[in-house]
Amino acid sequence: MSSRLVAGLLAVIAAAGVTAGTLLGSGLPAPPTEWAYIVIGLVLPALGWLLAVRRPRIPYVWLLLATAVCLGVSTFGVGLSTLDVAPVLVRVLVAVFPVYYGLLWIFVPLLFPEGRLSSRRWRPVAWIGAVAIAVHFTGNLMIGPIPSATPGQLVSAGSADLVAWLVSGVGQFVTWIITLVVFGGLVARWRRSGSGERGQYAWMVAGMTVNLAGFVLLSFFLVGLAAPLAGVVGVLAVLGSLPVAIAVAVVRHRLLDLRIGIRGSRLLVVFDVRPTVGEMLTSLGTALEETPEPVEQLGRLAAAVRDGLEVRWAAVTLADGTRVVAGREEGAAALTLPVRGGSGWIECGPRDGDRLTAGDRRLLEALAVPAGLAIQSAGLAGRLVYAQEAERRRIERNIHDGVQQQLVALIAGLELARATGGGPDMLAELREQARQTLNDLRELAAGIHPSSLSQGGLVEAVEGRCARLPVPTTVVASRELRAQRFPDEVEGAMYFTVSEAVANALKHAGATKIEVRLARADGRLRAIVTDDGQGFDPSAAGRRGLATLADRLDALGGGLDLDSGQGEGTRMNAWVPVDA
């Protein structure tokens, strides 16, 4: 059953109970005071339904609906008692009244505004309040049949009812005490709240004050110390003050991120809603999946932040200076938040007519995770494009400077041999040139993907690469690892990482000894390359060709670390996850 259907059903039960119970008790035509009771009594179920439709995942709205149902059920029980039928049912229904005002006095203010305790220290208060309500309800059930529910009339109690009255009284007294404690906590929260939430708490404090004042008036009337009008005012104040206060908080201060406004020239009242964090993450995730281009992903992200926080503009900025703005950027940023990994940050402009609150910052912090992923994706995509272009140019340069020139020389030699009738010595020289060209082509192909890697696996390919180095190089790997094979992308990434590391050790570090250690442990395939070269400061120098390989490893879920220092050699540690 959908949340809207459940909310509608509960609201109808509450409204029908209030209306039917009141009219059963007064008869028709009903006096104005009874109609006033009905109108004010309908505020709570209507408000609960409206909030539940727009915010079904927030527990507080269901608390309001539960309170409204208790009001409707108990009011119907009082009205049904005038018909002198079903005394057991009447007793059960009327006994729900303590549950209604227990929820209204304790849990509606205690769990304001989202249905959660403000801190763990309020847990004992909530438990004591719940037990007091249950004790009061149980005591009322134990009391004998209620002959009349006219205000001010006392029910005679025999000896069998003394325990029931005692239980009910204890529950009622503890409920009052807990109510005062909760009211004090509500006032404290109001005084400590920020500017964005102060208005909401102010209306709640005002509603609770009017409610308690109304209860005092009603109590004076019941003991004969006040006129009937005071009793009527007291009942209406207890009934409607808190629901009206919550409704005003919704209208004026966007309680639960809800707003009511005027749309168009026809003065159409609009009840609108800002998406929750979960809704924003879901919609943003879908948008990012449908947007393959990284820069467009940043635009979607900026637009989601702008729409979600209802600010004039929002911007996503990368660490390299790339900046994407949604909206017209006017005025200074009202809120700035760095995203995951320090790869960029999000900025929000001001909001028309209102300030950004702590809740807005929490929402932005929740968006920082997908924002970081989108920014990293954009940066990684840019680096991969650059790496692909650099690799294409490297291969083009190697072909032009090496194999192409050798082929040109070989063709020229063949032409010369044909023209001059070259003898065996010339043909032998041309054959040697052809053999050398073939070897160079094999070396070039090995730089793209060595055949030994496809045929013999990672360890054999690394040993073949290191065997041709001009300095002593040791490859260490277990017998078990030599017999194992891994996915092509894993073996390729590890092979070229090792190749680049040993090339750097020879070209830049002046190493005289290199060790390559391959191992598999804890679900990772690891390659450690150590040299005795001159070393360098990793924080002051780029990683040269290893930077693109680090991106390649990162795309596989792995990583690469460098440990080096001037005159201390270099140690490279690369790893990728593999199945256990």
Q: How confident is the model at residue 396 (pLDDT cuts 50, 70, 90)?
A: low
What's the whole-number average pLDDT of the chain? 79
Closest CA relative to residue 200, chosen from 334, 101, 109, 329: 109
DSSP letter at 144? Answer: P
Shared domain for 539 and 427, answered yes or no, is no
Phi, psi values for residue 261, rounded to 5°: -145, -175
Shared domain for 222 and 76, answered yes or no, is yes
Is residue 504 domain-resident?
yes
Burial readout 382-398 (b: 16 or more C-beta within 10 A, e: otherwise): bbeeebeeeeeeeeeee
Shared domain for 119 and 198, answered yes or no, is yes
pLDDT at 220: 87
Domain stops at, among 399, 420, 445: 445
Domain stops at, among 410, 445, 480: 445
Shared domain for 307 and 230, answered yes or no, is no
Domain stops at, among 246, 270, 294: 270
Q: How confident is the model at residue 505 (pLDDT cuts 50, 70, 90)?
A: confident
The two counts, helices (H) then strands (E), for the chain are: 21, 11
- Write out the two tokens for 217: 């008036």
Burial class (CB in 10 A: 0-12, 13-18, 19+), 414: middle
Shared domain for 337 and 431, answered yes or no, is no
Query: Which tops the pLDDT comparison, 118 or 454?
Result: 118
What is the domain-level CATH number for residue 551?
3.30.565.10
Is residue 490 domain-resident?
yes
pLDDT at 270: 41
- Write out the two tokens for 212: 């308690």
pTM strictly above 0.75: no
DSSP letter at 354? Answer: B
Shared domain for 164 and 211, answered yes or no, is yes
Shared domain for 212 and 100, answered yes or no, is yes
pLDDT at 98: 92
Question: Residue type for 132, please?
Answer: A
Shared domain for 44 and 135, answered yes or no, is yes
pLDDT tens digits for 140-194?
888 765 444 444 444 455 566 788 888 888 999 999 999 999 999 999 988 887 7
Is residue 538 domain-resident?
yes
Quick one: what percent of the chain has pLDDT higher than 70? Answer: 75
Shared domain for 126 and 165, answered yes or no, is yes
Is residue 372 domain-resident?
yes
pLDDT tens digits for 455-498?
888 998 888 878 877 788 999 999 889 888 888 888 888 888 88
| Contact (CB, 8 A) for 570 and 563 | yes
Q: How confident is the model at residue 298 (pLDDT cuts 50, 70, 90)?
A: confident
Q: How many angstroms separate the Cα of 110 from the Cα of each of 32, 200, 355, 487?
A: 33, 14, 26, 57
pLDDT tens digits for 53-104?
877 878 888 999 999 999 999 999 988 888 878 888 888 999 999 999 999 9
Is residue 529 domain-resident?
yes
Domain containing 410 equals 385-445
Shared domain for 377 and 389, answered yes or no, is no
Q: Reduce the DSSP state of residue 155 to 3 states and report it.
A: coil
Is residue 344 domain-resident?
yes
Query: Which tops the pLDDT comparison, 509 or 415?
Result: 509
Is residue 451 domain-resident?
no
Shared domain for 38 and 120, answered yes or no, is yes
Number of domains within the chain: 4
The Cα–Cα gap between 558 and 544 comes to 19
Shared domain for 360 and 502, answered yes or no, is no
The Cα–Cα gap between 7 and 9 comes to 5
The Cα–Cα gap between 569 and 505 comes to 9
Phi, psi values for residue 533, rounded to 5°: -75, -170
Is residue 450 domain-resident?
no
- Write out the two tokens for 505: 């050790």
